[in-house]
Amino acid sequence: MENEKYVMIPGPTPVVEPIQNAMGRKTAAFKDPEFVADFESVLADLKKLWKTDGEVFVVPGSGTLAMEMSVSNTLKSGDKVLIISHGYFGDRFVEIAERKNYDYKVLSAEWGTGIAPEKIREELSRDNYRGVIATHVDTSTGVKAPIEEIGRIVQNESDAVFIVDGVCATAAEKEYVDPMNIDILFTGSQKAFGVPPGLALIWAGPRAMKRRNKLGEINEYYGDFEKWLPIMHDPSNYFGTPAVNLIWALKASLSLIKKEGLESRFSRHERDARAIQAALETMGFEILAEKGWRAHTLSNVLYPEGINDEEFRDTLREEGAVVAGGLGDYAGKLFRLGHMGNIDEHVITSVLQAIERTLYRCGKDVDFGAGMKTYMQEKYS
């Protein structure tokens, strides 16, 4: 009998039944009063939960669209931009900056570590930056940036807008827009919200909206905040067709988040991540991210000597868990295990057991149950 397969990549994440059911409703007209009311409630919840007096945008598209919209609506050609990178997705902003003709500088960390906030403070004192960009959690490394401290520095030391890539963080790692001095926060629906791919979510705080107003007309059309703002204020208006069923799925996701409580959700992810990473280390793996920099949404897991990446991941798939491979210089050297969104303890323990079985099948001596014991002790200690 074939094992059920748990998708444990860093996104898309598993979609639980209430969200599936919402997604599967018969599609309505986008001006249907009931749908309009649902869309309004989604927008209100996003602003309230993530604490901004600015605006929120829910647009059909990917996290990459949200990334481009965030800079296009706050920065112009020639602006000085500081990019804080601790992995592949931080470096991705470099290509965007080149295409947008920004005068940019990159502070890059060795993979597995991050940039100390004091280095950011020092750099901001050297020049008049108009934008600072940081990835909260980079999926290539499993490193988490201290965005609250960075936001405080950017606010106090510069006139820059602070743009945070929350794609692998939002709804799992602690983030609040205005209280943390974040001017732009963006994510995609398919990560910690546990919604299928297809929605770009952007929070734009008051300073970001002031910057947008000063820019005047921009080159973007579909990605222009001002094109979408009338819809965000009244979803019965039209600019581009909303993703009706995805909006319903997001509404169901937000219902689950409100029921759990956002702070409780942050704490759950922290407890699970600490316990999962300890369990993996008990099994003989290492975690790429150094302690103090580790994310709560995924783990980048270095293989012990003698393990072949392709064999391990293929065998793990047979045992019931799908994980992602490494990126960049770590391709073939690690697997990436997502543990964010609406996964529960049953899924996590099943996956840890599947990893133990896979190690055994790959020729390693395995103390069966040791990883599980560590997980339970760490989580409930």
Mean pLDDT of the chain: 97
Q: Is the pLDDT of residue 1 over 80?
A: no
What does the pLDDT average to over 17-45? 97
Q: Which domain covers residue 286, as residue numbers? A: 6-13+262-380
Q: Is 84 found in the same domain as 186?
A: yes
63 has a pLDDT exceeding 80: yes
Is 174 in the same domain as 309? no
Q: Are 170 and 191 in contact (CB under 8 A)?
A: yes
205: which 2 tokens? 């705080």
Residue 4 pLDDT grade (very low, low, confident, very high; cuts 50, 70, 90): confident
DSSP 329: G
Phi, psi for 277 (deg, rounded to 5): -65, -40
Q: Is 265 annotated as a binding residue?
A: no
Q: Output the domain CATH number for residue 375.
A: 3.90.1150.10
- Residue 252: how many other CB atoms lie within 10 Å: 25
Of 205, 238, 260, the domain-final residue: 260
The residue written with tokens 């945070």 in the block is 164
Give the tens place of pLDDT for each residue, 213-237.
Answer: 999 999 999 999 999 999 999 999 9
Q: Is residue 21 domain-resident?
A: yes
The pLDDT tens digits for 234-270 are: 999 999 999 999 999 999 999 999 999 999 999 999 9
Claim to verify: residue 270 and residue 236 sit in the same structural domain: no
How far apart (Å, rounded) are the C-alpha atoms in residues 85 and 83? 6
320-374 pLDDT per residue, tens = 999 999 999 999 999 999 999 999 999 999 999 999 999 999 999 999 999 999 9
User: Which of residues 213, 245, 260 is at a domain's end?
Assistant: 260
- Check residue 169 and give its pLDDT: 98
* Distance between CA atoms of residues 12 and 305, nearest Å: 30
In this predicted model, what pLDDT tens digit does every residue of 174-185 receive, in sequence order? 999 999 999 999
Position 1 in a domain: no
Q: What's residue 381's pLDDT?
A: 84
Same domain membership, residue 272 and residue 174: no
pLDDT of residue 291: 96
The position carrying tokens 């991540």 is 273
Q: What average pLDDT does range 289-296 have in this prediction? A: 98
Question: pTM score > 0.85 for this model?
Answer: yes
Domain co-membership, 186 together with 64: yes
Backbone torsion region of residue 295, taken as left when φ is above 0, otherwise alpha when ψ lies between -120 and 50, otherwise beta: beta
User: What letters, b where the CB count within 10 A reaches 16 and e where it falls short, cover 324-335?
Assistant: bbbbeebeebbb
In this structure, the answer to whether residues 252 and 269 fall within a common structural domain is no
Joined tokens for residue 365: 């001596």
% of the chain exceeding 90 in pLDDT:
97
Q: Are residues 37 and 179 in the same domain?
A: yes
Are 229 and 343 part of one and the same domain? Answer: no
Boundary-marking domain end, from 204, 230, 260: 260
- Beta strands 184-188 and 161-165 are parallel
47 three-state secondary structure: helix
The domain that holds 66 is classified in CATH as: 3.40.640.10
Q: For the residues 300-321, what does the mean pLDDT come to?
A: 98
Look at residues 84, 166, 63 and name the one whose alpha carbon lies nearest to residue 131: 84
- DSSP class of residue 14 equals P
Single-letter residue type at 9: I
C-alpha span between 381 and 378 (Å, rounded): 5
Q: What is the pLDDT of residue 316?
A: 98
pLDDT category at 20 given cuts 50, 70, 90 is very high
Residue-level pLDDT at 22: 97
Q: Which contiguous run of DSSP H or E holds residue 325? A: strand 324-325
Closest by CA to 146, choosing from 193, 182, 110, 178, is 182
DSSP string, 86-152: SSHHHHHHHHHHHHTT-EEEEEEPPTT----HHHHHHHHTTS--SEEEEESEETTTTEE--HHHHHH
Provide the number of structural domains found in the chain: 2
**For residues 324 and 9, is the Cβ–Cβ distance under 8 A?**
yes
Q: Are residues 204 and 317 in the same domain?
A: no
Cα 33 from Cα 23, distance rounded (Å): 18
Helix axes 244-260, 33-49, angle to 10 degrees: 40
Residue 51 pLDDT level (bands cut at 50, 70, 90) = very high
What pLDDT does residue 98 have? 96
